A and B are shown apart, each in its own frame.
Chain A
Amino acid sequence: MASLTASRALAPIGTAGKLFAFALDVGAGLFRRPFQLREFLQQAWFIASVTIIPTALVAIPFGAVIALQVGGLIKQFGAQSFTGSASVLAVVQQAAPIGTALLIAGAGGSAIAADLGARKIREELDAMMVLGIDPIQRLVVPRVLACMLVAFFLNGMVSVVGVAGGYVFNVVLQDGTPGAYLASFTALAQLPDIWIGLIKALVFGLIAAIVASFKGMNAGGGPKGVGDAVNESVVITFLLLFVANFVLSMIYLQVVPPKTG
């Protein structure tokens, strides 16, 4: 009985360990030839096609909310001339990677988990292994790389759309001046802010694709199992992404000193 409770309590740790082992397998598969270029391009195109429009639509209000919030706050301090800079910092460092992460996990990751889960329960993955082909190398590695690539580009797009949205709201609704908004960009923001945003996007794409593939390939118990796998993959990815975002932000703020105007 005691061992049963113990095994139940330790089950999540076991799952975490399996996920980590799976990530290592993917890492090893990365260097195995032949590289599945065709699958990679197809997946990149597919993930991009399911995420671009939702991401753009999410980015506009995201940028606007930040502009309104930061703009309002900064007005109270009487530092309106720094509105542009503050909203660029917030969008590029935080909003863009997080927005990208939500869409990559919600749209891209769920599609990957559903696809691999369906293949798993139809025994397609077993059939592939029996045909002497490693599904991790054949299916998962291209998906992980595609997800990272798309996350990287989406991050750039969210940054641009978010900053543009912030500009429109600041200028139109908050009576900011276009010149001040643009001119203050470089006052607080600096180049490493973009690097950390892009690094975050890559890491988020990696995590989302690995969790989704892991959950999909371990789906079980028929169609309901696939549904559960998709659900779990999205929830777990969100949790991991926010933790990863916190850790990366902490490290960044420690390592790169903030620019003083």
Chain B
Amino acid sequence: MGVEIKIDGLTKSFGKQLIWGDVTLTVPAGEICVMLGPSGTGKSVLLKTLIGLIKPDRGSVVIEGTDIASCSEKDLYEIRKLFGVLFQDGAMFGSMNLYDNVAFPLREHTRKSESEIRSIVMEKMDLVGLIGAETKLPGEISGGMRKRAGLARALVLDPEIVLFDEPDSGLDPVRTSFLNQLIVDLNAQIDATFVIVTHDINSCRTVPDNIGLLYHKHLAMFGPREMLLSSEEPVVRQFLNAQRVGPIGMSEEKDADELAAEADQELPPLPPIPLQLEPSNGIPRRAQRPPGEWCRLNGVTPPPGSFQSANAGLAPGA
């Protein structure tokens, strides 16, 4: 079914350094959300806060009535059974082969027989295309395979919420688009809530229902995909279109001189909004809206050429 995640007033700092402050958003049940942000804005920290690996200084993360930020250790372990998490490098247990890795949560948390476990594990391995590699150790396979194995393990307990920490880092463009398709198909199939942390704008333009942008220690914007893709807000516009002109500089933000120097530069027009990726397995996604619906409802004129092709406005070759 998917579960809603309500984040309210979340603030985290390490020592004196504020990571982000007052992040408030609601991830709707069953929808795909992407959290974007320049490197080093604490996207992964936010993800780890969602699963209670990092305690925030203030604020709450409420899932099914339990506040992850303040609940007891015991409740935390209980609520974590709702989650499947894909870590950046897969985080496979190095001492076990892939089969045992994927079977691990089943063996720990369920009383299923070995033959039931086998059929579930094989189903998930098939889903991520790893049939034939069950007996390999995590050290013997490529980063992309580790990532897919991590995804299989994350899915094995039929999670209500799936978190992806940079699913595309270290993957080639072809594998990345296969993975994106897999994410959309999975969402249609299991109907869970997906939160993806990434800075790959191609995935971000086509995959999610909602986009959030972390910038300069706060949540700059969170909303439906079409809202952000048609936004004229400088930060959002600069980031989603990978431009140099805008408030984001090589270091965290540009200084006044640089901003003044580019004040009279004309911003390039917004590229057209691409169509959202459709599930390839024929199952309709609950959260999917007709293209252009948000723009129509809110009286926003999308950039010319929007919603005509699946790769409009994407970086060439993607």
Contacts and interface: CB of A to CB of B under 8 A. Distances in A.
A113 to B, nearest CB: 16
A131 B87 contact: no
Interface in B177-220: none
A132 B94 contact: no
A122 B89 contact: yes
Interface stretch (B26-34, B35-43, B74-82, B234-242): B74-82
A133 B80 CA distance: 9
Contacts of A133: 77, 108
B91 A122 contact: yes
Given A122-B94, A126-B48, A134 B77 contact: yes
Contacts of B48: 126
A118 B94 contact: yes
Interface residues of B, number: 24
A119 to B, nearest CB: 7
A129 interface: yes
Interface in B55-107: 73, 77-78, 80-81, 83, 85, 87-89, 91-94, 104-105
Contacts of B289: none
A119 B105 contact: no
Contact of A124 (B53, B80, B81, B94): B94
Given A118-B94, A124-B93, A130 B78 contact: no
Contacts of B77: 129, 132-134
A122 B101 CA distance: 14
Nearest to A126: B53
A131 B51 contact: no
A127 B85 contact: yes
A69 B89 CA distance: 57
Interface in A101-136: 118-119, 122-124, 126-134
A126 B91 contact: yes
Contacts of A118: 94
Interface centre among A119, A122, A130 (most CB of B within 10 A): A130
B93 A130 contact: no
B296 interface: no
Given A130-B53, A133-B108, A124 B78 contact: no
A130 B109 CA distance: 12
Contacts of A127: 85, 87, 91-93, 150, 153
Given A119-B94, A123-B91, A130 B83 contact: yes
Contacts of A123: 87-89, 91
A134 B94 CA distance: 18
Contacts of B83: 130
A225 to B, nearest CB: 16
A124 B108 contact: no
A134 B52 CA distance: 13
B80 A126 contact: no
A124 B91 contact: yes
A127 B163 CA distance: 12
Interface centre among A122, A124, A132 (most CB of B within 10 A): A132
Contacts of B105: 131-132
B109 A132 contact: yes
A134 B75 CA distance: 12
Contacts of B153: 127, 131
A130 to B, nearest CB: 5
A124 B73 CA distance: 19
A80 to B, nearest CB: 55
A149 B77 CA distance: 30
Contacts of B91: 122-124, 126-127
A157 to B, nearest CB: 28
25 contacts: A119-B93, A123-B87, A123-B91, A126-B48, A126-B53, A127-B87, A127-B91, A127-B92, A127-B153, A129-B51, A129-B77, A129-B80, A130-B53, A130-B80, A130-B83, A131-B80, A131-B104, A131-B105, A131-B109, A131-B153, A131-B157, A132-B77, A133-B108, A134-B73, A134-B77
Interface of A: 118-119, 122-124, 126-134
Interface of B: 48, 51, 53, 73, 77-78, 80-81, 83, 85, 87-89, 91-94, 104-105, 108-109, 150, 153, 157
Given A119-B94, A123-B89, A132-B80, 11 more contacts: A124-B94, A126-B91, A127-B92, A127-B153, A129-B77, A131-B105, A132-B78, A132-B108, A133-B108, A134-B73, A134-B77
